[in-house]
Structure 1
Amino acid sequence: MDMLPIGRALLSVTDKSGLAEFAAFLAGNGVELVSTGGTKKAIEAAGLAVTSVSDVTGFPEILGGRVKTLHPYIHGGVLADKDDPAHLTTLADHGIKTFDLVCVNLYDFASAVRGQADLKAAVEQIDIGGPTLLRAAAKNFHSMLVVPDPLHYPRIMAELAANDFKVGLGLRRELAAETFRRVSGYDAMIAEYISSREA
């Protein structure tokens, strides 16, 4: 689709700069906010209503937070092609709601490396759910807006405000390409770090 209406957003960010303003802008325009852990707390601290990912999935965060968003109720809603009636039927059959916006930035693995964390501690800063969500949303840019960095908030808010709270395919495709570059760079950094360390 060319112009995508934004009605439901998933936010899970390490860098919370600008988050309160962005979330307030979305919520103020009727967008349902879904979030995890610290991001959810920050949104609530801004006085905004937000649904926990655990309430969407019906399953708690487990393994010390290693497993939060890896669930069909999340990824089905992110990966569904909204132009494909069969996809929408499948979601309806399983009670899955679509997402329109995924706002994720990754665990700060670079800081763990700069801080000379040992290998075991550094591994805990390797994000799994974040890159998976980013890749899923970027793959599905025809039906989804992916937001990989707070620096894009002003541009996105301006586009939504100017277009009856819809975002065009051009911006969605641009941010999808950037997202794949970011995830690729993140993985390359981790590969380099692990290969250079003793187990």
Structure 2
Amino acid sequence: MELLPVKRALLSVTDKSGLPELARFLSAAGVELVSTGGTRKLLMEAGLPVTAVSDVTGFPEILGGRVKTLHPHIHGGILADKDNPEHLATLAKHGIAPFDMVVVNLYAFEKALEKGLALPEMVEQIDIGGPTLLRASAKNFSSILVVPDPAFYPEVMDTLAQNAMAAPLPLRQKTAAATFAKTSAYDAAIAAYLKDA
């Protein structure tokens, strides 16, 4: 798909800089916003309509937030190939709405390292859902726009505005490549820490 219309976005970020502006831009264009925890609270405080992930999954966050987005109603909506009729039929059969955009950044593991936390506390700084969302979206860049860093927000907004709220394939491939670089570096930092902890 060369141009991907953006109608539904999942937002779940640790670094919230620039997010209200991006979310306002999306909402003003009629994009449905779906979000988690603190990100959803920020968007609601900004007066934006936002659907809770738990309303999409029909299941509450559990295990102290360790499990919230790991669900077929989230990942089915992210991983479906929109050019594949069988994938679209599967979504329809199971009542899964597709996502067109995923805006996620990760727990700041390296910043936590600077605090010299004990091993059990450091383990809690290892993001699971975030990298999973990012990798799933980056894999499926043919059908979804992944935004792994606030540095991309201006380019994303400009490009969507210039293309009637559709994301061109070159932008999607560019952000997918950046996403895999980020998740790779994130895993490398965790591996290095655990090796020497």
The alignment's TM-score, normalised by the length of structure 2, stands at: 1.00
Give the counterpart letter for 1:181 in structure 2. A
Output the CA distance in 1 between the equivalents of 2:26 and 2:105.
18
Structure 1 residue 117 corresponds to structure 2 residue 117? yes
Structure 1 stretches lacking a partner, 5+ long: none
The superposition leaves residues 31-72 of structure 1 with CA deviations (integer Å, 9 ceiling, x where unpaired) of: 000000000000001100000000000000000000000000
Give the counterpart letter for 1:99 in structure 2. F
**Which position in structure 2 is the counterpart of 1:57?**
57
Output the CA distance in 2 between the equivalents of 1:101 and 1:24.
15
Q: Equivalences for 1:32-181 in 2 at 5 Å?
A: 32-181=32-181
Aligned length: 197
Q: Equivalences for 1:11-50 in 2 at 5 Å?
A: 11-50=11-50
Output the CA distance in 1 between the equivalents of 2:153 and 2:112.
26
Output the CA distance in 1 between the equivalents of 2:29 and 2:20.
14
Structure 1 residue 2 corresponds to structure 2 residue 6? no
Output the CA distance in 1 between the equivalents of 2:175 and 2:160.
15
Identity within the alignment, %: 65
User: CA offset at residue 111 of structure 1?
Assistant: 1.2
User: CA offset at residue 167 of structure 1?
Assistant: 0.9
Output the CA distance in 2 between the equivalents of 1:31 and 1:139.
22
The superposition leaves residues 171-190 of structure 1 with CA deviations (integer Å, 9 ceiling, x where unpaired) of: 10011011001000000000
Output the CA distance in 2 between the equivalents of 1:157 and 1:181.
22
User: CA offset at residue 112 of structure 1?
Assistant: 1.1
The superposition leaves residues 141-199 of structure 1 with CA deviations (integer Å, 9 ceiling, x where unpaired) of: 000000000010000000011111111000100110110010000000000001101xx
Output the CA distance in 2 between the equivalents of 1:112 and 1:15.
14
Output the CA distance in 1 between the equivalents of 2:125 and 2:28.
33
- Superposed structure 1 runs of 4+ greater than 4 Å apart: none
The alignment's TM-score, normalised by the length of structure 1, stands at: 0.99
Output the CA distance in 2 between the equivalents of 1:151 and 1:34.
21
Please, what is the CA RMSD of the aligned residues? Answer: 0.4
SS class of match (2:11): strand
User: CA offset at residue 136 of structure 1?
Assistant: 0.2
Output the CA distance in 2 between the equivalents of 1:110 and 1:178.
18
The superposition leaves residues 12-45 of structure 1 with CA deviations (integer Å, 9 ceiling, x where unpaired) of: 0000000100000000000000000000000001
The superposition leaves residues 98-126 of structure 1 with CA deviations (integer Å, 9 ceiling, x where unpaired) of: 00000000001111111000110011000
Output the CA distance in 1 between the equivalents of 2:101 and 2:165.
12
Output the CA distance in 2 between the equivalents of 1:152 and 1:185.
18
